[in-house]
Amino acid sequence: MSDDKTRTNTTFHATVPGVARIGANRELKRAVEAYWAGRIDAAALTQTADGIRRDSWNQLVQAGFDSVPVNTFSYYDQMLDTAVLLGALPPRVAGIAHPLDRYFAAARGTDEVAPLEMTKWFDTNYHYLVPEIGPDTSFAVDATAVLNELAQARALGVPARPVVIGPITFLALSKAVGGAQAPLSRIDDLLPLYVELLAQLAEGGAQWVQFDEPTLVTDQAEGLAELAERVYTELSAASARPRLLVQTYFGEAGDRLAALGRTAVDAVGVDLVAGTADSVVAADLADKLVVAGVVDGRNVWRTDLDRALDALTALRPHVGSLAVSTSCSTLHVPYTLRGESQLDAALAGWLAFADEKFAEVATLSRALVHGRDDQAGQFEAARLALATRATDPRLHVAAVHDRLDALEPADWTRTTASARRPLQDAALNLPVLPTTTIGSYPQTSAIRQARHALRTGSIDACKYRNRIQREIADVIELQEKAGLDVLVHGEPERNDMVQYFAEQLDGFFATANGWVQSYGSRCVRPPILFGDVARPTPMTVGWTTYAQSLTSRPVKGMLTGPVTILAWSFVRDDQPAAVTARQVALAIRDETVDLERAGVPIIQVDEPALRELLPLRAADRDAYLDWAITSFRIATGGVADATQVHTHLCYSEFGEVIGAIAALDADVTSIEAARSHMEILDDLNEAGFANQVGPGVYDIHSPRVPSTDEIADSLREALQAVSAERLWINPDCGLKTRRTDEVTAALRRMVAAAVLVREEAAALAG
């Protein structure tokens, strides 16, 4: 008994770095949105949260895990939680008395205060809130949330391991404001707080604590190996602390792992899906527990158990002890395959969502201790499933490959933008500083209910079409009344800008309930790109031409680009992404050609995920950008010079890839700018970017409606960087998450600001 206890305290065998928290049926989404709407109170929200945590811990314990991550729950985002933990919320929310409301104000803004910026979490489609570190930010530990979770878990008998974002990653992902130095320069201010946190967690009964340091797999800062060694030498020297696991993921930590090996931390977690075992062997980890992420935490393919066990067995002699884990938190995959009854049986056998991954981790950890034969049934089932996947004819379609082989550079090269411009200007006849929107209009619950009714058979396709057409007519009217120049149909028929296309393309499967958190309460169901991709029939032409039939102003067709379709799907892992991207590009190209033929004068191909897929290591970037740019150009290179091609990008820092954005050679690029305070403007001057651009002039992810003056100020600022002949006026992104009243007001103000600034420009010129 005492032996057993010692063993569980000093090491463990099976775990995950973290789990999803939105709830298997999006319980948290519904509760949080109900709280925001004032339909439930804080106590009811807390109760839902408690239940979600309890259910997920129980599930991990039942799966056989002997160490369970806690504090991976969040009401909105784990970076925001860490800012709260470290006393680093922005001063502008300090006056809000209730902690939960203060927290949500920092996340979403209120009428009075702007929210934190939001950006992509490494190379995923999860968005975190960017903490602001000003010259006066003075950190202070407030461990209430993590201590509460720890106490809740311990009361339930869960072997709880609190998880906190580590100091290097926290600062590397934060943003300096008010003229402050780079946040990482504050590392020495933070370390005493982490030491204090360790003491409080030990006091709270934690045997282990996990500090997440995914920044250690990136090239985001200089000298990360030295920094990691210094930081973790100091933290591991803390006098009162639980055992310390430093968890990396999303890539190979390389020399940073060796650096951690030289410190007195007890364990390191490594991603053996994105990285290799070589760097683990090369680092001296003979006295460490290595938490080996051999089960993919962010893709959905069933694990090759034989290969994973071989890798673990090969690693074992080189490390102190070995635990089995997923490569990263299962935040990035759906909860369970159970209930996905519409998937074809073969495909279902190739997949593992979070629940099934927990079982794989448990199987591997048992096999590591007791031998493969102990788990023979599991191994055999995995072998059989993988064999059927390798030979499925849908994965190797000759017609698709013939088309790829026939592609040549002329297919993705248009004439110069300056040669196209006069043709397009003549065809469109737009005013200077043209106004437009990014595509989607509010996805009202009436629209979603209509889609639900269609799915469950309570209305037929004809009735559904009528409802969507009515919606399109309303949106056209709204835009005409607001005075916009280039209209859109509003995308009411789309459940999501990727899933909608995936549902109509060969080579994809959509899930019924495979929800994954994208940010806050917003979720997506990433489709599964499993086979060769082709477009059997037009996907958008009917809706777009219907919209055009209702107005004399130009209507912009709206498609999603190949890079974004890949980024927001679960993609096959049996061929290079570059090949898969070209297949998707050809499918989108077919659609652009059909739209043009139907008389659509402007086609927008969205690539909001271009920056997201940029490799975390500089050495891998050129190869990625090459296939990303080529696939976009294949998608858009089939239309005439007079057809205006737009693209749209959002939710990332684009400075680094501005050259690649220019190389897409879209005639017009709309790009998120307002939520990040128009910082992108520096990169949009003529030298870096010759074509037309629309830096977003208002933030659409906050319910706050900006004033005309505010928008006009943004416009004047934009005109400092971009000449009037190149400048378009549009919001940051699509409007689907907003309410119709917010959108109506905001667009009227946007057009009013445009009119004002056009007059100013004309007065100056004349």
Ligand X SMILES: Nc1nc2c(c(=O)[nH]1)N[C@@H](CNc1ccc(C(=O)N[C@@H](CCC(=O)N[C@@H](CCC(=O)N[C@@H](CCC(=O)O)C(=O)O)C(=O)O)C(=O)O)cc1)CN2
Which residue from 454, 437, 564 is spatially nearest to 491, judged by alpha carbons?
437
Per-residue binding string, ligand X, 506-545, x by CB under 6 A, is ------------xx--xxxx--------------------
According to the binding rule CB under 6 A, does residue 448 interact with ligand X?
A: yes
Exposure letters 560-593 (e unless 16+ CB within 10 A, then b): bbbbbbbbbbbbbeeeebeebbbbbbbbbbbbbb
Sign of CA dihedral 614, 616, 622, 624: negative
Q: Please name the residue ranges forming H helices in 64-219.
A: 78-85, 99-108, 144-155, 167-172, 187-203
Rank residues 370 and 452 by Cβ distance to ligand X and give the closer one.
Answer: 452
Q: Residue 260 touches which of ligand MET, ligand X, Zn ion, none (CB < 5 to 8 A by kind)?
A: none
H/E stretch holding 675 reads: none
Rank residues 67 and 560 by Cβ distance to ligand MET and give the closer one.
Answer: 560
For the chain, first and last CA: distance in Å?
A: 90
Q: Residue 452 touches which of ligand X, ligand MET, Zn ion, none (CB < 5 to 8 A by kind)?
A: ligand X
Q: Burial, 406: exposed, middle or buried (Cβ in 10 Å; 0-12, 13-18, 19+)?
A: exposed
Interface with ligand MET (CB under 6 A), residue from 606, 612, 665, 732: 606
Query: Would residue 677 show up in a list of annotated catalytic residues for this protein?
Result: no
Interface with Zn ion (CB under 5 A), residue from 733, 735, 747, 757: 733
Residues 721-740 that bind ligand X (CB under 6 A): 736-737
Q: What is the DSSP string of 602-640?
A: EEEEE-TTTTTTS-SSGGGHHHHHHHHHHHHHHHHTTS-
| Phi–psi pair at 323, nearest 5 degrees | -120, 150
120 labelled binding-site residue: yes
According to the binding rule CB under 5 A, does residue 608 interact with Zn ion?
A: yes
Q: Least Å distance between CB 519 and ligand MET?
A: 11
Q: Least Å distance between CB 650 and Zn ion?
A: 3
Q: Residue 558 touches which of ligand X, ligand MET, Zn ion, none (CB < 5 to 8 A by kind)?
A: ligand MET
Stretch that binds ligand MET, among 378-386, 537-545, 675-683, 730-738 (CB under 6 A): 730-738
Residues 589-608 that bind ligand X (CB under 6 A): 608
Chain centroid to Cα 483, Å, comes to: 33
Q: Least Å distance between CB 701 and ligand X?
A: 8
How many degrees, rounded to 5, is the angle at CA 219 between CA 693 and CA 16?
105
According to the binding rule CB under 5 A, does residue 650 interact with Zn ion?
A: yes
Q: Tokens for 742?
A: 């917010």
In whole angstroms, give the CA distance from residue 169 to residue 246.
11
Rg (CA), the chain: 26
Query: Edge-to-edge strand order for the sheet containing 243-247?
Result: 68-70, 160-165, 208-212, 243-247, 267-271, 285-295, 319-326
Q: Tokens for 627?
A: 């296939």
Taking residue 100's Cβ as centre, other Cβ atoms within 10 Å add up to 14
Q: Least Å distance between CB 568 and ligand MET?
A: 9
According to the binding rule CB under 6 A, does residue 495 interact with ligand X?
A: yes
Q: Which positions lie near ligand MET, rule CB under 6 A? A: 438-440, 497, 558, 606, 608, 648, 650, 733-734, 736
- Give the annotated binding-site residues for L-methionine: 438-440, 491, 606
Q: What are the binding residues for 5-methyltetrahydropteroyltri-L-glutamate?
A: 26-29, 120, 522-523, 568, 612
Point out the annotated binding site for L-homocysteine. Answer: 438-440, 491, 606
Please give the residue ranges that form the binding site for Zn ion (CB under 5 A). Answer: 608, 650, 733
Q: Which residues are annotated as a binding site?
A: 26-29, 120, 438-440, 491, 522-523, 568, 606, 612, 648, 650, 672, 733
Q: Which residues bind ligand X (CB under 6 A)?
A: 125, 443, 445, 448-449, 451-452, 495-498, 518-519, 522-525, 568, 608, 651, 736-737
